[in-house]
Amino acid sequence: MARITLSAIKADVGSLAGHIVPSRELVKAVGDHIKANQASLGIIDFRLSTTGDDVCILMTHRHGADHPQIHKVAFDAFMAGGDIAEAQGLYGAKQDLLVTAFSGNVKGMGPAAAEMEFDERPGEAFILFAADKTDPGAYNGPLYHLSDPMYNSGLLLNPKTKGYRYTVMDVSHTGGDRVIELETPKDLYDLAALLRDLERFVVEKIEGLDGLPMVAVSTTRLHNIAGRYTGKDDPICLVRSQKDFPATGEVLAPYVKAEYVAGFMRGSHTGPLVPSKLGTKISYFDGPPKVTAAGYSMKDGKLVGPEDLFEDPFWDEIRRKAHQKAEYIREQGFRGVAMLPMDELEYGGMKQRLEELDQRFKIR
């Protein structure tokens, strides 16, 4: 069995009419660059998808994760897309490219990456989730529920599924990767205690207890890299499904909740995570936060798909509920839980205003 690597790398390098959707020409330029380098870099197959204003490149190859040439081709493809964005006057052209030249690995340069290397199974099935207008903590809930028989019935029905090993990252730590490993069901409450804090502790990967790679999440927090806010992180997540992993339907099941996450308007408000169709655009209040799910099969690295896993009419009902949740929280405006805590606000205006007001307070 030959090892195969899935590399999903995404960035927002400019979008049309605000933070809405990339232009067709931009997406084409990204794809053309990958295509031109596909054979020479040993990229077996690739696909592009868009979610809101983000473009995601999925590649299959045999070079392993964090391979400099694979990261470089993605970075340069985004640069080519960014050139088009500049030429077309798109909004936020090259905003996620925090450096002008690639060196080594896209992590730390703006684009987000989720990668997994494994022995391809017969009937290999996986899902690529991509979320816009939110941050990596948006996956905490759905990934926690992989260890919950209310969503993953395989934990009860499949005698081979004993639990999972989660790697959780403290994304507020900027001096290197600070991580902890926890095993479910043994450490389930410890996992819950950490994943409660969506902005600080995020799932980076999950393996079976036998060490088989199952989930990879991009954990980039752009404002931690850039030292200033450059937009929401808009995370991607790869999940292998079926056989000893959760079934595709079990992986999708927790998204019925349309949980409230960070990232609505100006990256500074709370909104429901809406399970959305591939290529979805952004409309209401620069959101609501959205997640797409592209389903794939694969043989020797050749991809079949994507199949849009949130297209079914079932998800129309969930979208209706999610949109209602969006309206409910918008009734709350700027108050309380509707707006994110001070450290998560995408602009300095609030802090500045409060500092000025602070000077005018008097002790009576």
Q: Which of 10, 12, 53, 277 is catalytic?
A: 12
Q: Which of 72, 232, 257, 325 is catalytic?
A: 232
Q: Is 54 a catalytic residue?
A: no
Q: HEC states along the chain?
A: CCEEEEEEEEECCCEECCCCECCHHHHHHHHHHHHHHHHHHCCCEEEEEEECCEEEEEEEECCCCCCHHHHHHHHHHHHHHHHHHHHHCCECCCCCCCCCCCCCCCCCCCCEEEEEEEECCCCEEEEEEEEECCCHHHHHHHHHHHHCCCCCCHHHHCCCCCCEEEEEEECCCCCCCCEEEEEECCCHHHHHHHHCCCCCEEEEEEEECCCCEEEEECCCCHHHHHCCCCCCCCCEEEEEECCCCCCHHHHHHHHHHCCEEEEHHHHCEEEECEEECCCCCCCECCECCEEEEEEEEEECCEEEEEEECCCCHHHHHHHHHHHHHHHHHHCCCCCHHHECCHHHCCCCHHHHHHHHHHHHCCCC
- Interaction residues for ligand F6R, span 30-49 (CB under 6 A): none
Does position 135 bind Mg ion by CB under 5 A? no
Q: Is 232 a catalytic residue?
A: yes
Does position 53 bind ligand F6R by CB under 6 A? yes
Does position 53 bind Mg ion by CB under 5 A? yes
Query: Least distance in Å: CB of 264 to ligand F6R?
Result: 9
- Among 54, 124, 187, 344, indicate the residue that binds Mg ion (CB under 5 A): 54
Over the window 202 to 241, marking each residue x when it contacts ligand F6R by CB under 6 A and - when it does not, the resulting string is -----------------------------xx-x-------
Query: Least distance in Å: CB of 271 to ligand F6R?
Result: 11
Does position 117 bind Mg ion by CB under 5 A? no
Q: Which does 199 bind (CB under 5 to 8 A by kind): Mg ion, ligand F6R, none?
A: none
Query: Least distance in Å: CB of 234 to Mg ion?
Result: 4
Q: Is 229 a catalytic residue?
A: yes
Q: Which does 266 bind (CB under 5 to 8 A by kind): Mg ion, ligand F6R, none?
A: ligand F6R
Q: Which of 76, 83, 91, 229 is catalytic?
A: 229
Positions annotated as catalytic residues are 12, 229, 232
Residues of the shown chain interacting with ligand F6R in the complex, contacts defined by CB under 6 A: 12, 19, 52-53, 92, 132-133, 231-232, 234, 266-267, 286, 346
